[in-house]
């Protein structure tokens, strides 16, 4: 590895091809200075190992958000930033940005019932037939409201699609389908790929924005791409939310089983499969049902807080230093479960001590450079990713530099220490104006770009870069692919499958001395080069025309 990397560096330093290879339509990047190359070369797999080992040690108790171990991890990361001489960019001159959150548990006293015009009420069984959370964060809420079927519950002007058609749904409960209208046309909801409109989070947000008091998603296994047991498991017990900030919320954010939905619709003398077929048309209009939801939702509300850890390296250009590149990696994991017998510490070595270690090593490299890039660099290690990207959502809403001035976000999450990578994954990069530079940098590093194998699964919406994309920042995660030196692709796929089966989100995601951090160092160098380029480009990076995040970017927040 060392040998081939030296070779790559030699090519990088000596070749003028670096800037010439970029697409003609792209602004030409500044070539990296030799000072930048030498600090990039200094990125060290053994330091990445040391950070990973410490952050995933049992003493850190699984780095739970709002738990002692999580706070120790945050202090460790802040201390590293301080030793690198980076400026604090959190609250009140510190590295810490406090993220206020609440944990909500729906209690068994909760009642959920449907009644038709003939007053034939049906009480639903919690967890077996429905799940619901009160997003308004009250100890108890009551709902008595008419139900309206709104198809997919999507309003997407860029695809000329509007399920609401201007209907007034204030105070109503909205019944809707999961996912999005299917098609193979890439111009229509990106063909097979899932857009954000297909995610359940969007559907609740849109319903709340329109003034609905509740939204009920109909679970159908093939449409959701997961079974009811997944809905049930991820909707029982405590769920965390950001503290209320004025954003509209639902008293009932719910799911119901398909059969229950069919029964509910039948009470209004209608047929669910007919409604579902109608919903596939652009001409679909909301259908008011003659069925009401009567609900009494009782919740345990537990306020807590954890910190994002943020540092800044000021840029060297008088004008562009107000703009920044942002690196991120979540430091939280699932914490400790004292009531569980045996090993009850979720160490999260891969997920995401490795990403934090890469972030720290990139920060270290930037701080060592004799000459700094034109734009500033932000380093953000965020909390509560495992609770639903909450730390990054808060940071996106409260960035130390306005989102409109952050040219690029690069996120690192779960970088397996498997040796020397021959591929990178940068899914989402192709949607930004930075992609041709990503391609040429990958080429210089002799890394093949591996396309997203299952765009229909919507992975782009499940990691922290998505929180930054939502506020318009061109952002994506950088990771290894499946091909490693000395192995075939099948080996890489087998490693990934084994991790998912045996260790992902389990106490066995632990550090082992035989881990090979060459991979993490290679990704760190690649990420460093991308960030340096982005920090030096004459213009800010944007989303490609027509992208779902373009609007947020152009709004100039």
Distance CA 531, CA 366 (A): 10
The nearest distance, CB 221 to Zn ion, in angstroms, is: 26
3-state DSSP call for residue 75? helix
The nearest distance, CB 88 to Zn ion, in angstroms, is: 25
The nearest distance, CB 517 to Zn ion, in angstroms, is: 17
The nearest distance, CB 352 to Zn ion, in angstroms, is: 4
The nearest distance, CB 425 to Zn ion, in angstroms, is: 14
Q: What is the largest CA-CA distance in the chain?
A: 82
The nearest distance, CB 334 to Zn ion, in angstroms, is: 10
The nearest distance, CB 483 to Zn ion, in angstroms, is: 22
Query: Quick check: 440 and 17 in contact, CB under 8 A?
Result: no
- Could you give the angle at the alpha carbon of 305 between the alpha carbons of 394 and 335, nearest 5°? 105
Distance CA 173, CA 288 (A): 10
Give the other-Cβ count within 10 Å of 230's Cβ. 13
Handedness of CA 83, 60, 50, 390 (dihedral sign): negative
Token code pair at residue 215:
């939204």
Q: How far is CA 524 from CA 24, 359, 433, 519, in A?
A: 27, 7, 22, 9
The nearest distance, CB 355 to Zn ion, in angstroms, is: 7
The angle, 0 to 180 degrees and rounded to 10, between the axes of the packed helices 518-536 and 34-41 is 160
Q: 156 φ, ψ to 5°?
A: -130, 90
Distance CA 398, CA 180 (A): 31
The nearest distance, CB 330 to Zn ion, in angstroms, is: 6
Residue (of 469, 462, 413, 388) closest to 101 by Cα position: 388
Q: Which residues contact 170 (CB under 8 A, 6 or more apart)?
A: 210, 211, 212
Show the beta-strand stretches assigned E in 47-135.
87-88, 96-106, 111-115, 122-123, 130-133
- CB-nearer residue toward Zn ion: 205 or 414: 414
**Interface residues toward Zn ion, by CB under 5 A:** 351-352, 413-414
């Amino acid at each position: 590895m060392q040998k081939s990397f030296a070779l790559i560096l030699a090519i990088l330093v000596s070749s003028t091809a670096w800037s010439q290879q970029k697409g003609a339509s792209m602004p030409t990047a500044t070539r990296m200075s030799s000072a930048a190359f030498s600090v990039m070369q200094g990125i060290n797999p053994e330091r990445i190992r040391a950070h990973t080992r410490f952050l995933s040690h049992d003493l850190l108790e699984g780095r739970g958000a709002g738990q002692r171990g999580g706070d120790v991890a945050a202090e460790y990361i802040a201390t590293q930033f301080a030793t690198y001489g980076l400026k604090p960019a959190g609250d009140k001159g510190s590295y810490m940005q406090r993220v206020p959150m609440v944990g909500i548990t729906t209690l068994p006293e909760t009642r959920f019932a449907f009644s038709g015009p003939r007053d034939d009420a049906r009480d639903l069984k919690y967890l077996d037939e429905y799940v619901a959370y009160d997003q308004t964060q009250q100890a108890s809420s009551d709902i008595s409201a008419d139900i309206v079927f709104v198809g997919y519950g999507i309003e997407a002007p860029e695809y000329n699609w509007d399920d609401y058609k201007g209907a007034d749904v204030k105070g109503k409960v909205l019944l809707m389908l999961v996912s999005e209208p299917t098609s193979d046309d890439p111009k229509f909801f990106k063909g097979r790929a899932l857009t954000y409109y297909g995610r359940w989070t969007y559907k609740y947000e849109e319903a709340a924005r329109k003034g609905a008091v509740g939204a009920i998603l109909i679970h159908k296994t093939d449409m959701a791409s997961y079974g009811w047991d997944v809905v049930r498991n991820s909707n029982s017990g405590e769920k965390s939310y950001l503290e209320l900030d004025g954003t509209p919320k639902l008293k009932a954010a719910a799911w119901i089983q398909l059969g229950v939905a069919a029964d509910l619709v039948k009470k209004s003398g209608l047929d669910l499969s007919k409604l579902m077929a109608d919903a596939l048309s652009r001409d679909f209009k909301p259908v008011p049902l003659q069925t009401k939801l009567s609900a009494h939702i009782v919740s345990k509300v537990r306020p807590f807080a954890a910190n994002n850890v943020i540092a800044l390296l000021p840029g060297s250009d008088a004008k562009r230093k107000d703009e920044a590149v942002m690196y991120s990696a979540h430091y939280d994991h699932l914490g400790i479960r004292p009531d569980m017998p045996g090993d009850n510490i979720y160490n999260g070595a891969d997920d995401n001590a490795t990403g934090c270690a890469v972030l720290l090593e990139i920060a270290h490299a930037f701080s060592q450079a004799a000459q700094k890039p034109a734009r500033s660099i932000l380093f953000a290690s965020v909390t509560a990713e495992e609770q639903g990207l909450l730390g990054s959502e808060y940071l996106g809403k409260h960035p130390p530099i306005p989102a409109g001035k952050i040219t690029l976000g690069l996120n690192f999450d779960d970088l397996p220490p498997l040796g020397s990578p021959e591929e990178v994954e940068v899914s989402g990069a192709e949607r930004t104006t930075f992609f041709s530079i990503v391609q040429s940098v990958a080429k210089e590093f002799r890394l093949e770009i591996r396309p997203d194998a299952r765009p229909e699964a919507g992975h782009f919406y499940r990691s922290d870069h998505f929180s930054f994309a939502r506020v318009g920042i061109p952002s994506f995660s950088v990771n290894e692919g499946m091909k490693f030196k000395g192995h075939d692709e099948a080996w890489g796929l087998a490693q990934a499958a084994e991790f998912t089966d045996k260790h992902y989100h389990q106490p066995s995601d632990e550090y082992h001395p035989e881990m090979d951090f060459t991979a993490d160092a290679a990704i760190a160098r690649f990420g460093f080069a991308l960030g340096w380029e982005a920090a030096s480009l004459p213009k800010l990076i944007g989303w490609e025309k027509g992208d779902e995040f373009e609007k947020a970017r152009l709004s100039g927040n």
